């Protein structure tokens, strides 16, 4: 039997469980997302969600609503990181394995245009998670690397409003998520973030390449012999 893993987060987690319900059901994943909730709000239900679901693992994904000032005030990146770290420490104390996802890329906060530095805030929290999650017993999953375009914004094909993911966005990060949770083969991150990469040389193409190489080597040998 697959051990259950609860997904705790905000509206991004809530919609993930809806759009990819079949995947969640197949892999024992339990969505517990709350629309609009900040990381601080999520701390108030974190232990309850773990206990009620009986989950042996937790996937935590939140923080963007803190950046969006959903509680009406500015929250610095280091305070968001401390709040996330506190939940990871609580999971470890309960003997629950933890994964923490990066905040998704966004060029702006759609519902709060007064937030001028969303990309920098997102980058700061993600950098902290990348460097320190393991110190709190968690594995970091870098969804940002798969979803961001060259400017650091969320790719247009993967979003509904510049911040929330479309069904295509969830589908794009699903292989990375399942791989990190140990429920699918390992994922090549570069290929996951760029589906246009060509496949490796095979069959006739490989034979042709070998033939060309042999001709070049023979030509070089002949030139050296004639010197």
Give the CA count within 13 Å in the CB-facing half-sphere of 124.
16
Alpha carbons 25 and 164: distance in angstroms, whole number? 22
Q: Which of 59, 51, 12, 8 minimizes the C-alpha distance to 32?
A: 8
Q: Measured in Å, how far apart are the chain's first and last C-alpha atoms?
A: 72
CA distance 71 to 75: 9
**Tens-place pLDDT, residues 172-194:** 999 999 999 999 866 555 555 55
d(CA 73, CA 66): 9
List alpha helices for 70-161, DSSP H: 77-93, 118-132, 143-147
Q: Model confidence over 116-165: pLDDT tens digits?
A: 999 999 999 999 999 999 999 999 999 999 999 999 899 999 999 999 99
* C-alpha–C-alpha distance, residues 168 and 188, integer Å: 18
Paired tokens of 46: 């974190």
């Amino acid at each position: 039997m697959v051990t259950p893993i609860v997904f705790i987060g905000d509206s991004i987690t809530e919609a993930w469980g809806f759009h990819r319900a079949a995947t969640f059901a197949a892999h024992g994943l339990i969505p517990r997302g709350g629309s609009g909730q900040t990381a601080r709000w999520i701390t108030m239900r974190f232990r309850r969600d773990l206990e009620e679901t009986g989950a042996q693992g937790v996937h935590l994904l939140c923080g963007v609503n803190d950046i969006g000032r959903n509680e009406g005030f500015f929250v610095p990146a280091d305070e968001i990181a401390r709040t996330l770290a506190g939940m990871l420490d609580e999971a470890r104390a309960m003997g629950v394995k933890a994964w923490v996802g990066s905040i998704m890329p966004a060029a702006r906060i759609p519902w709060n245009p007064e937030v001028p530095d969303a990309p920098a805030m997102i980058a700061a929290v993600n950098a902290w998670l990348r460097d320190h999650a393991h110190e709190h017993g968690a594995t970091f999953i870098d969804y940002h690397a798969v979803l961001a375009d060259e400017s650091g914004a969320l790719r247009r094909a993967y979003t509904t409003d510049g911040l929330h993911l479309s069904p295509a966005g969830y589908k794009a990060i699903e292989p990375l998520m399942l791989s990190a949770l140990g429920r699918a083969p390992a994922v090549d991150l570069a290929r996951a973030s760029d589906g246009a990469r060509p496949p490796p040389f095979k069959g006739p193409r490989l034979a042709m390449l070998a033939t060309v190489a042999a001709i070049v080597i023979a030509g070089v040998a002949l030139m050296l012999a004639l010197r």
